[in-house]
Structure 1
Amino acid sequence: MIFTKKRTYKQHDNEKDSFYKFSAKKLSNQNKITDSFSSDICIIGAGLTGISSALHLANNGLTITILEANKVGAGASGRNGGQLGIGMRKDQFFLENKFGFERAKFFWNIGLEAVRTVTNLVNKYEIDCALRKGIMHVGNTKRDYKYFIEEMNHMQKKYDYSNYEYFDYKNIKNEVASERYYSGILSKDSYHLNPLKLTYGLAEACLKNNIKIFENSPVNKIEDKNSEVHIHTNKQIIKSKKIIVACNGYLDDLLGSTRNYFMPINNYIIATEPIGETLAKKLIKRNCGVIDSRFMIDYYRFSEDYRLLFGGPETITSKFVKDAKNFVAKRMYKVFPEMQKYKIEFSWGGTLAISINRLPILGYLMNQKLIYSHAYSGHGLAMSVMAGKLISEKILDKSNRFDMFNQIKHIKIPGGNILRRPIYSSAIIYYRAIDFLNRL
C-alpha cells in the first residue's frame, strides 16, 4: 500500500495578522533533517494531536520523530477560538439515540477527561496560556431555553452531573451584555485559553523529552514496507515501525480516499485593540468564553490583554476570503454594536475538518502500522489532545478506548473530492436559512 501526496496544503492567509502569533514567544527549535534515518514512531503533523501523541508516548523507550510541513501550530491548533469545552461536538441526546446510553456515557466521560488532560498538562509543564474558566452557551431564539433546561435536567438525572448554571431572559443580559440572546447555560467545567501558547508549551515539553520536531518538512509519500513504513520527505526517507498521521483539515491526499469522510472548511477570527478589564467585564461579566446556539455559530471571548476575539463565519472553498476583517466584524457588531468604535488590529483564518455526524474520526491502516485522527468538527481543542492520549494507549496496548472511536461508522461524502464541496455548500446554505428563520 502506497499513499502519495499530490500537493501540500499551503496556508492561504497571512500568518502575521494572527493575534496568537503576536502574543506567543517564538518556539526555539533548530532541528533539521540532513539525512535519512529510522525512528520507532514517526508522527506527521506538529499540531495538538501529533504533539500530544508524542508526549503521551514519551519515556517508554521509543525514539519519536515529528514531521511538520510548516511550523509548529501553523494549522488549526494555533489558530482556533481557544474554547476548551467538555463533552463531544454533539449532545448526549444525539449520542444516546445513536449508540445507546452506556456508549454515550463513555463518550461523555471521554469529553470530561479531555479537558482535564489539557489542564493537567498545562499545570505539569507550567504553560502560561492564559487559562480561564467557563464557557457560556447563549440562546439566539426564544425556544432555546427549553433545550437548556431539558439538557440540565437530563444530565443531572442520567449522569449525576450538575455543573451547569442556567440563566433566563433577564439574567443572561447581566452575563452577556447583548440584545441578541434570550437565555444561556454556563458550563463551569469548561475553559478558554490561548491555543498557540498551549501548542508551543507542549512542543517545548516534547523537545525536553528528546522528541525530535522537524519543521518545514512536508511528507510527500507514505509507503508500506512489510514490517515498517517508509515516510518520504523532499529528499529523505524516514523508516518507522509505527506512523501517526495528525493533519486534520490539512490532510489533502496523504491518505487517499480517507479525506472523503470529512469536509475541510475555513473559519475566521478577529481581535480588537485592548479595551480594558472594566469594559470587558461589562460585556462578559465572568470573562468566560461564549458560543451561541445557531448552526453557523458565533464564538468569542476576551484575550489575556482584554482584546475581544470574535469568530464564527466560515467558507467551504479552499481559498480564504480576502477581507476576513470585515467578513467577521459585521457579525461582531450585531452582538456588540458598541465595539464599532474600537480598532480591529488582527484578523486571520484557519482550516478545520468536519465529519457528517460531527464526531471525530480515529482509525488505522497498513495492518495498524499507520494510525490517524482528525475531523474534530470545531470541538478539537480538548479532543485533539485527548486523541493523542488515546493513540498512545493503542500503540502501548494499554486500553481499547481508541477502538471505541474507531468503531463509529462514519458516512463517506458522496461523489468523492469532486462533489463533496458542492454538497456541503448546499448544506451550509440550508442551515443559514434555518438560522435566519429561527430569528423571526
Structure 2
Amino acid sequence: MSKTLIRGAQVLGGAVQDVLIDGETVVEVGTGLSAEGATVIEADGQILLPGLVDLHTHLREPGREDSETVLTGTRAAASGGFTAVFAMANTHPVADTAGVVEQVYRLGKESGYCDVQPIGAVTVGLEGRKLAELGAMHDSAAGVTVFSDDGKCVDDAVIMRRALEYVKAFDGVVAQHAQEPRLTEGAQMNEGIVSAELGLGGWPAVAEESIIARDVLLAEHVGSRVHICHLSTAGSVEIVRWAKSRGIDVTAEVTPHHLLLTDEMVRSYNPVYKVNPPLRTEKDVLALREALADGTIDIVATDHAPHPHEDKDCEWAAAAMGMVGLETALSVVQQTMVETGLLDWAGVADRMSFAPARIGRAKGHGRPVSAGEPANLTLVDPAYRGVVDPADFASRSRNTPYEGRELPGRVTHTFLRGRATVVDGKLA
C-alpha cells in the first residue's frame, strides 16, 4: 500500500500540520511526522480541505456525449478539487429507471477520477405527469437518495407532494428546480431594468419564489426533506430563512456564478451568460453571499452545464442555457466569500464538502481531516492568481463565463481514497 505525507498544510485553514496517508486512509495528523518510503508533498502552508462534493452536476452521458462524458466530467471535477459529484437526471434517455442510474454509476466507477452518485428523475421522462421508479432506483446498485427533474420544475403540487411522501421511506430528498413555467414562457434573462432596455423576455423572481414557498409548505405538511436547487433571488433567501425558522426540513444551494455575476453582463449579448435561473441583480448577489455566510443557504453547487460549441456560439435567443463550473468553482468562492471576509476556509469546507455530503448521504465524503477517515482530500494554493483559459479545461466543453478573467486560488492536489488524481495542478 502506498504512503503519502503532506507536510506543512493549513488543515481547514487553521493550524499548520502534517497529514500521513496510508493506502485509502488518513492514518495520522500532527507535526513533525515522517514515514519511510512515503511520497512527500511540501504544502508550504497551502490549505488542506476535505474533498469537495458537488450536489448538482450535469455529466450528459448517456445521450449527449458531444457535450460531456462521465469520464471527461469527472476529470474536470478532480481538477476542481472534487472527489464526489451528483449527476443530474436530464440525460438521454432520462435517468428515471434503475437501469439508467446503474449505467451512470458504473461509468463513474470506471472513470476512477471522482465518485459519481446518480440523481434519479422525479417523474417519468421529466414530463411532470407520473412519478418515476423512485423505490427501484433507491434499491438499485446506485442507491439513489436524491431525486430531481432539474432543467424542469415539478410544477404539479400533487405530484410534488407524492414524491415528498415517497422518499420519506428511505430518507431521500427531492431537489426542486423552482421555476413556475407559466410565468417564464419565452424568458431569456432576469426580468428587470436590463431586460426592458434590451427587449429580451424576462424571467421574474416571483417565478422562483412562488414554487419555493409552495414546496417548503408541502415539505412541512408531509414531514419530508426538500432541497432547493440554484437559489438565485433575495426573495428566495427570505422564504428559506422563514421556513428554517419554523423547523421545516429544507436545504438550499447557490451556484458560484450567482455569487459573482449579474444581469448587467447580458448587455454584451454573449450567450455564455445565458443560464437558468438567469443572472440576477447586484442586490440579489449580495443577499446570496450573506445567506451563504449565515447558513440560510447550506451549500455551493456548481450546476456544471456543458454544451458543445455550436449550442453556444450563436444568437442569444437560440443559445442553450448553462455554464461549465467544476474547474472554477473553488476560485470563485475564494474571491466572493473568503477574500471578502464572509467565510473562512473552515466555512468553505462546510459549504462545499461537509454539508453537500450530508444532504446527499455521500458515504465516505465530507469527513473530517483526521486519523481513521477516508483520504478524500483537496490541497489548495490560495496565493495563486491566474487568468482563466478554457483551452486548459479537462471538461469536453468550453462554455465558461470567466474566460480571460483573473481568479484566485488553484487546486494543486486532489486525492480520492488516498490515490492522487491531481498532482501539481495537473491530472494524474
TM-score of the superposed pair, with normalisation by structure 1? 0.28
